[in-house]
Structure 1
């Protein structure tokens, strides 16, 4: 939702020619900053899908490229896009659907597609609702990925309850997921169930397991990622089938939505909220996953956050060493089944599980590195070779994610004021200084835009945030004690 000073951007819709030129400028900036080799490898196939509600929608051809850009170049993309495009609220990166007409982005009336890959007569999004597994569509071959969800994207057969490894950090979430999947149609044991976890901790695995188990039991299930929900709704608007879309969606037994934090656009969020309310009122089960507590989902409408927080909220915590060892042992067993000569002794497993302490995806990476070393060198995996193979995983652990609320609370405590004071209109020196420091830290330690930071500080204008950031930047270069104080706050927030 845009600030007042951003409204003219969404109302005065930019032309296709303007967006094309602006996107070309973004590409030139990236090429100049990163060099031709890096640009050609990672950015040449990134395309601008359109602009909606102040958000730039970028697409890439593969999931791997999307994951790589998010992990290594997210901030670089955000900075260059917001500098050249009318997108003050940031950007969304998604995978293109090459086998179907390019789906439009949220806010159909204000989106100008820059590059079209449409085929005459093709459907933008195929909506399928069924109680039993269906064969895959498109070019995907039948096999492990031959279940199709309500949006036409496939569920992964491997992500089932049998393959989910439990430990102290995920036992409650697993038990709730099993209970919901096994419940008869029309029964909603926990409604809604909201699962939140960081990257690579298993929330998507649980959601896919719920969807598959419930569908195998004969229930009508719709499984969405956030971007597919947006695509489906906007495609229905453009094809004038929105009513049928809503009716189908509200006629299911179980709605499963992953990565809810990425749902963008006022109209999309309103429809999502209406759908949740209608299904809950009808006694239908809702399961939603996000990357943080519902109340911390800053971009979501407050009514949606309240609904999600009003059900059973379960956190999937960090993997402890015992659980990491079990996960790694399982991954290695799968690889050993396909490579008879690949063996890893228990001491190496214990070592890797101890030092790779981030998430399940990094454990997958560690297992693959050990396999690559063994198969390429022809040598057995020893402690020394394991240390060399996983060195980058040990060195590049993700820093702690800092939230604006955490910054506000810490600064308020440090300066003996309340968080309400920082968010208020009070202009006394005792409040203004910590407020400006908190704004500066929010810009320095989070990926949030200036308008978004302003909203989180009592609905202030982005120019107020910019003034605070520049003022603190200047003061910490002139005042050593303030420099040390701000540096201490940064370390406390990142530990």
Structure 2
């Protein structure tokens, strides 16, 4: 069921050479210092179903790369590797259960696996889900990815932007098995806004109440399913999943591959039909996950859908204060004034992970230099975290609506087969803006514009690029549309 590591004839040597080219590109673009700090330990585990699986040794490094370099990684990998479906970044571990070995050796048929060989455990393929952490012998849990005990409801900081999501998560975790009023629950948010924390809190609280819980990141679900197929334990995998009370899946946008998506869809349907609870998180609305099977999107969108909003300054200050308080408990001499907390919360306006980074930098400065943390020293310590606020995420639907309004046509006209000049020009401008302002591929954009072919989108993009280079008024007009969409 899995694709080869690359095009026909691609072998271990060609894949390794392609990966070295990716590394050289990153080093040239970012410089030796940045590359050595963040990319030196990044490895290619292999390519499966057109997806490049990249691994790093720590969760912090994974979070940092996802928050700051995800798009650059994707573009460079797309340029050199036979991986048209994107990348998956995960934390490599030395110890895996015995069923993980076939994934590295068989499913990744490039034989380019660079991770350490899995260590065999006592768990058998029939007793635990392949690719997951082994269960205790008397556990009622259907095991999944290991949980971080620090991510509980008690440690979650609630504000206006996440209050609804928190309330729904608490209600689901506390509800008796099969009696949740919100099923499925779909949370969506950008990087570092707390959706993973909420998912882990749900899983831990439900598990504490004796419910059978399976918590997966998207990459662990895919690894587990493919490993089960290769080790001929797929039936045990499916039966184990269908016997749980709660399924929690994070970063669903990364689930790739037709067969894997089909099994994921079957699992969702079976659990929902049996009255079991499902909680899923993604980086955008389910309907916008074009790479995901339409039936899965429909199922996820049919439950309670909640956005975890961006952190406002007050919430950022509260989160930072809680992080600093935890550090101060471990380092009593480490003190940060309220003025410094307010300053950092104001200028680090991206996400919670950067706030963690700011707290750690302040601690490092204080302990290594022996100096008090002042506004001046804080500014120097967190300089690399203070970035111009990124433009908001632009949706193709928003582009279509704005362009339609601007050119006095309807959105239906833009999606139609009409070829009059009054419709063709705004349609091509909208396609150009979709390519310029969103991470969507040409085929995805074509599907969102009435099911058109990717060559039609490419023609429109090239035509508008040429036109704005020759027509100053059109250049200004398109530039205005970009600014309106990004505000």
Q: TM > 0.5 between the two? A: yes
Q: Structure 1 residue 125 and structure 2 residue 131: aligned?
A: yes
Are the structure 2 counterparts of residues 357 and 132 from structure 1 closer, same or farther at C-alpha, using a change threshold of 3 Å? farther
Match of 2:385 among 377, 393, 409: 393
**RMSD in angstroms over aligned alpha carbons?**
3.0
Match of 1:150 among 143, 150, 157: 143
Shift in Å, 1:435: 1.9
Match of 1:303 among 292, 295, 303: 295
Provide the C-alpha distance between the structure 1 equivalents of 2:357 and 2:142, rounded to a whole number of angstroms.
28
Shift in Å, 1:246: 0.4
Are the structure 2 counterparts of residues 130 and 167 from structure 1 closer, same or farther at C-alpha, using a change threshold of 3 Å? farther
Unaligned runs of 5+ in 2: none
Q: Aligned with 1:155: secondary structure?
A: coil
Provide the C-alpha distance between the structure 2 equivalents of 1:13 and 1:194, rounded to a whole number of angstroms.
41
What do residues 70-90 of structure 1 show as CA deviations (whole Å, max 9, x unaligned)? 344433333332233333332
Answer yes or no: is the 8 Å Cα contact 2:4–2:48 preserved in 1.
no
Match of 1:423 among 409, 415, 419: 415
Provide the C-alpha distance between the structure 1 equivalents of 2:149 and 2:321, rounded to a whole number of angstroms.
20
Are the structure 2 counterparts of residues 105 and 328 from structure 1 closer, same or farther at C-alpha, using a change threshold of 3 Å? same
Larger mean Cα displacement after TM superposition, 60-69 or 173-182: 60-69
Instruction: Report the counterpart of residue 459 of structure 1 in structure 2.
Output: 451
Answer yes or no: is the 8 Å Cα contact 2:67–2:192 preserved in 1.
no
Match of 1:249 among 241, 250, 265: 241
Shift in Å, 1:467: 1.9
Answer yes or no: is the 8 Å Cα contact 2:468–2:474 preserved in 1.
yes
Q: Aligned with 2:279: secondary structure?
A: strand
- What is the number of residues matched between the two proteins? 474
Shift in Å, 1:326: 1.9
Are the structure 2 counterparts of residues 162 and 33 from structure 1 closer, same or farther at C-alpha, using a change threshold of 3 Å? closer
Q: Structure 1 residue 81 and structure 2 residue 77: aligned?
A: yes
Provide the C-alpha distance between the structure 1 equivalents of 2:318 and 2:304, rounded to a whole number of angstroms.
27
Are the structure 2 counterparts of residues 340 and 58 from structure 1 closer, same or farther at C-alpha, using a change threshold of 3 Å? closer
Instruction: Return the TM-score normalized by structure 2.
Output: 0.88
Provide the C-alpha distance between the structure 2 equivalents of 1:178 and 1:465, rounded to a whole number of angstroms.
45
Match of 2:112 among 95, 114, 133: 114
Instruction: Report the counterpart of residue 144 of structure 1 in structure 2.
Output: none
Instruction: Report the counterpart of residue 237 of structure 1 in structure 2.
Output: 229
Larger mean Cα displacement after TM superposition, 396-405 or 290-299: 396-405
Instruction: Report the counterpart of residue 448 of structure 1 in structure 2.
Output: 440
Answer yes or no: is the 8 Å Cα contact 2:55–2:91 preserved in 1.
yes
Shift in Å, 1:29: 4.0
Shift in Å, 1:17: 4.6
Answer yes or no: is the 8 Å Cα contact 2:94–2:118 preserved in 1.
no
Instruction: Report the counterpart of residue 171 of structure 2 in structure 1.
Output: 179
What do residues 265-287 of structure 1 show as CA deviations (whole Å, max 9, x unaligned)? 11111111111111111111111
Match of 1:343 among 316, 332, 335: 335
Superposition map of 1:6-405 within 5 A: 14-34=10-30, 38-100=34-96, 111-115=109-113, 117-118=116-117, 125-126=131-132, 128=134, 150-151=143-144, 153-405=145-397
Answer yes or no: is the 8 Å Cα contact 1:132–1:215 preserved in 2.
no
Shift in Å, 1:341: 1.7
Match of 2:481 among 468, 485, 489: 489
Provide the C-alpha distance between the structure 2 equivalents of 1:391 and 1:28, rounded to a whole number of angstroms.
27
Shift in Å, 1:12: 5.1
What do residues 384-426 of structure 1 show as CA deviations (whole Å, max 9, x unaligned)? 3333333443334333222222222222222222223223322
